[in-house]
Amino acid sequence: MPEEEGGLEVRGRNGRMGIVKSFLIAFSMYSRIPVPQFQWEERDMRYTFCFFPWVGAVVGVCVYGWNCVCDRYGIGMVCRAAVDGALPLMITGGFHVDGFMDTMDAFHSYQSRERKLEILKDSHIGAFAVIMLALYGLLYMGAFSEIGDKRVLKIVCAGFFLARCLSGIGAVSFPLAKGDGMLFLFADRAHRRIVKGALYVQSAGCVLGMVLVSFGTGAAVTAAALAAFWWYYRRCRREFGGITGDTAGYFVVLCELCMAVSGAAADVMFRWM
């Protein structure tokens, strides 16, 4: 009996350590926030996607805090919007933007599916990646420059969390275009039932909080995120036969933009009403 209890205690301790390691892996992989480093083992990756949205929570808190500083000290709108665009890049190290640029090059190559998958792996960037990133930056900063209502800002900042919830759900639910790569590694080792459940619960909690802040804006921003999610699934299935790590980054960036534009539109409507 003591041996059995000891075994249960060891398994419980290992399980708790596995969760802590999954948390650290999520922040090590998807952000530039310093965390303790260790050698990753297969069992440590089972719950990584559960904690992926919390990188977005850090981004959202930082963006909201920056806007509060701007209000307090009268910082101009151009500087405010520029830093709003820079903060996600600084915190994540541009991890998702890299995937966005690779995906844009592949989408605009108009080549065969096999060639598009090769372009995704190419470390070089093409003209369309630069053009689409410039367009994205203009739209993103333009949207944030129109957000003045604190309720709208809270909802849009919560969107950084929601985008990563949906990205994680897609990673463990959608077909994968390749049988290798970082996304395949994490998805293959994920405890899918627990990860899906955790991400669905976190998504529902985030959406509930958004609609409680403002029902109309929360619903509009949520609808924009779900529309981006649907578009991501349909287009990646058609273009690549599934998703990859690069397209997952593309989705996070696209979803954040759609939510920011939706929130800005809601803010403008509030001012006219």
Helix axes 245-272, 127-145, angle to 10 degrees: 30
In 3D, which of 160, 190, 180 has the Cα closest to residue 252? 160
For 193-212, b where at least 16 C-beta lie within 10 A, e where not — what string?
Answer: eebbebbeebbeebbeebbe
**176 has which bridge partners?**
243
Q: Which of 193, 191, 198, 221 is nearest to 208 (CA)?
A: 221
Please check whether residue 30 lies inside any domain of the structure: no
Tally of domains in the chain: 1
Whether 15 is covered by a domain: the verdict is no
5 domain-assigned: no
Domain holding 180, by residue range, is 53-272
243 domain-assigned: yes
| DSSP state for residue 175 in the 8-state scheme | P
* Residue 86 CB coordination number (10 Å): 14
In a domain, 41, yes or no: no
CA 211: distance to chain centroid? 20
pTM of the model: 0.91
Per-residue pLDDT tens listing for the chain (273 residues) = 444 444 434 344 555 666 888 899 999 999 999 998 888 777 777 888 999 999 999 999 999 999 999 999 999 999 999 999 999 999 999 989 999 999 999 999 989 999 999 999 888 889 999 999 999 999 999 999 999 999 999 999 999 999 999 999 999 999 998 877 777 777 777 778 889 999 999 999 999 999 999 999 999 999 999 999 999 999 999 999 999 999 999 999 999 999 999 999 998 887 776
Look up residue 43 and give its two tokens: 């069992």
Q: By C-alpha distance, which of 204, 189, 227, 248 is closest to 21? A: 189
